[in-house]
Amino acid sequence: MQIQPTASHFINGAYVEDTAGHFIDVVYPYTGEVVAKVHSATPAIIEQAIAAAKAAQADWAARSGVERGRILRRAADIMRDRNHDLSVLETYDTGKPYQETSVADATSGADAFEYFGGLAGALTGEHIPLAGGDFVYTRREALGLCVGIGAWNYPTQIASWKGAPALACGNTMIFKPSETTPLCALKVAEILYEAGAPAGVYNVVQGLGNVGASLITDPRVAKVSLTGSVPTGKKVYASAAEGLRHVTMELGGKSPIIIFDDADLENAVSGAVLGNFYSTGQVCSNGTRVFVQKGIKEAFLNRMSERLASGVNMGDPQDPDTNFGPMVSENQRSIVQGYIEKGKAEGARLVHGGGTPEKEGFFIEPTVFADVTDDMTIAREEIFGPVLSVLDFDTEEEAIRRANDTEFGLAASVFTNDLTRAHRVSAAFEAGTCYINTHNLAPVEAPFGGSKMSGVGRENSKLAINHYSEMKTVYVSMNDVEAPF
Ligand code: NDP
């Protein structure tokens, strides 16, 4: 299949190039090879995208919700039909195994277009009766031109999770992918256009953070939705505030998993595997602080080590049997290696992995530390790689207090067979997305997002509609105007 895109940007319904923009190499993380090159957006490209998206918005918003929804649902169908090719591309872009990308990326994007396509025709305001026959009605209106900025771990999914609710509400979008993974969002734009989205409704421009920064400071932009790290979130939030723009911030985490003695051990190990090693640990909501009650700690560690020793198949990510891929980049691998060294230096017990396999690609072994304490760097900072820390505890009260002792608040999960404890602990978690006896599922029907430093707003579900639209109040008088003079 063709990896090199037709051109770097997708604007106003067509691929567009400006070779004056500097080159961004697309590196396949399994081989280190440059598999494609795109140009960063120049000021002329940014202007072209903003002008096109702004010009397209009024007509798009004026169409009926049913019509917008039909186009989004058609895009969902096309994505499903092309799942294989899109998954292969996602694997080249990110290095995640095809075994994952074929079930978690384009499929999740298609779910978003189908779900929000279904909602588009049902978006309404309300009628509010008042005294004397007067009444108010509200109109749910689009915000206007929205900017989406994505991280590199789920490029198709992020481009779709932002695009689908934005377009359903009658907004237009300019999406800037991470410069590490620029390819997949172009396919989302191509598919939307093919499905009937008018030119300019969904545009993609490439570039580093500075391209994102100049998009969000433009006065024609009404909203920015970022998926990225907390430091970037602070910068983007601050510059959006200058123009009082709407924001959605999907940021990082250091989420806890609490496993009680009475939990099903095999399920708890599976949850911790999913919450630490899926996508080679490059998932925002990962449960990287695994609090295990003392009575089952050694049994948990033994079973986790057995599962990792016998189950991990590290290799060519395009091979459907591979279930553990490389890190997205050499840089990200060395960041993770640095954290592993810190874990050892600060006295954590290395139970599994910790090394870099002798093979091509930016691989790092799935790594488990035990006897981790709350103050260690590996227990406090987001690592964004396959490093699981086990911390032990005695009581429920202690586990909750320590689990919440973090600036982050993205996700949290509890494993127990005690029904009331499961709900009590979930209520006590300071996190936006909680799980009972599982971890890391994100169906489009459910709100997803973070509390505290992990974010502002929610993606997915009916709630996302509130973050891509606003209510206009129309007061209707049925009586003469009463004036004092
Ligand atoms: P970054 O914060 O480094 O980058 C995110 C995006 O923001 C990139 O496209 C980046 O561009 C862009 N950017 C950087 N600086 C600016 C700026 N000043 N103005 C506008 N845009 C800017 O995150 P990563 O790409 O490294 O992704 C990993 C992070 O994303 C982790 O912290 C992870 O937890 C978080 N994440 C959160 C999710 C959630 O839903 N809560 C889901 C997935 C990831 P470029 O990189 O091209 O320079």
Q: Given strand 127-129, what is the order of strands in its sheet?
A: 127-129, 135-142, 469-476
The alpha helices in 287-395, defined as continuous H runs, are 297-311, 330-345, 377-380
The whole-number pLDDT of residue 100 equals: 98
Pairing of strands 349-352, 289-293: unpaired
Q: Which atom of ligand 1 is nearest to the CA of 252?
A: 34
Residue 391 CA to residue 291 CA, distance in Å, equals 5
The alpha helices in 243-347, defined as continuous H runs, are 265-277, 297-311, 330-345
The whole-number pLDDT of residue 94 equals: 98
Which residues make Cβ contacts (< 8 Å) with residue 122, sequence separation at least 6?
Answer: 65
Report which residue type is found at 200: G
- pLDDT < 50 stretches in the chain: none
The dihedral sign for the CA sequence 71, 74, 80, 83: negative
Token code pair at residue 468 = 């891509």
How many helices (H) does the chain have, and how many strands (E)?
A: 16, 20
User: Does ligand 1 have an atom closer than 6 angstroms to the CB of 196?
Assistant: no
Q: 209: CA distance to ligand 1 center in Å?
A: 8
User: Does ligand 1 have an atom closer than 6 angstroms to the CB of 36?
Assistant: no
Which residues make Cβ contacts (< 8 Å) with residue 442, sequence separation at least 6?
Answer: 108, 285, 433, 448, 460
Report which residue type is found at 170: G
- The answer to whether 148 and 162 are in contact (CB under 8 A) is yes
The whole-number pLDDT of residue 478 equals: 98
Q: 249: CA distance to ligand 1 center in Å?
A: 10
CATH level 2 (architecture), domain 9-252+454-472: 3-Layer(aba) Sandwich (3.40)
Angle at the Cα of 281 (from 277 to 287), degrees rounded to 5? 80
Residue 291 CA to residue 268 CA, distance in Å, equals 11
Residue 314 DSSP code: B
Q: 449: CA distance to ligand 1 center in Å?
A: 15
Topology (CATH level 3) of domain 256-436: Aldehyde Dehydrogenase; Chain A, domain 2 (3.40.309)
Q: Give, for ligand 1, the residue of 40, 216, 217, 227 to mutate: max count of ligand atoms closer than 8 Å to Cβ.
A: 227
Structural domain boundaries in the chain: 9-252+454-472, 256-436
The whole-number pLDDT of residue 358 equals: 86
User: Does ligand 1 have an atom closer than 6 angstroms to the CB of 179?
Assistant: yes
User: Does ligand 1 have an atom closer than 6 angstroms to the CB of 328?
Assistant: no
The whole-number pLDDT of residue 1 equals: 61
Which tens digits make up the pLDDT trace of 303-339? 999 999 999 999 999 999 999 999 999 999 999 999 9
Residue 405 CA to residue 375 CA, distance in Å, equals 10
The whole-number pLDDT of residue 128 equals: 98
Q: What is the CA radius of gyration of the chain?
A: 24
The whole-number pLDDT of residue 96 equals: 98
User: Does ligand 1 have an atom closer than 6 angstroms to the CB of 167?
Assistant: no
Residue 102 CA to residue 475 CA, distance in Å, equals 51
The whole-number pLDDT of residue 360 equals: 87
Q: 478: CA distance to ligand 1 center in Å?
A: 52
User: Does ligand 1 have an atom closer than 6 angstroms to the CB of 335?
Assistant: no
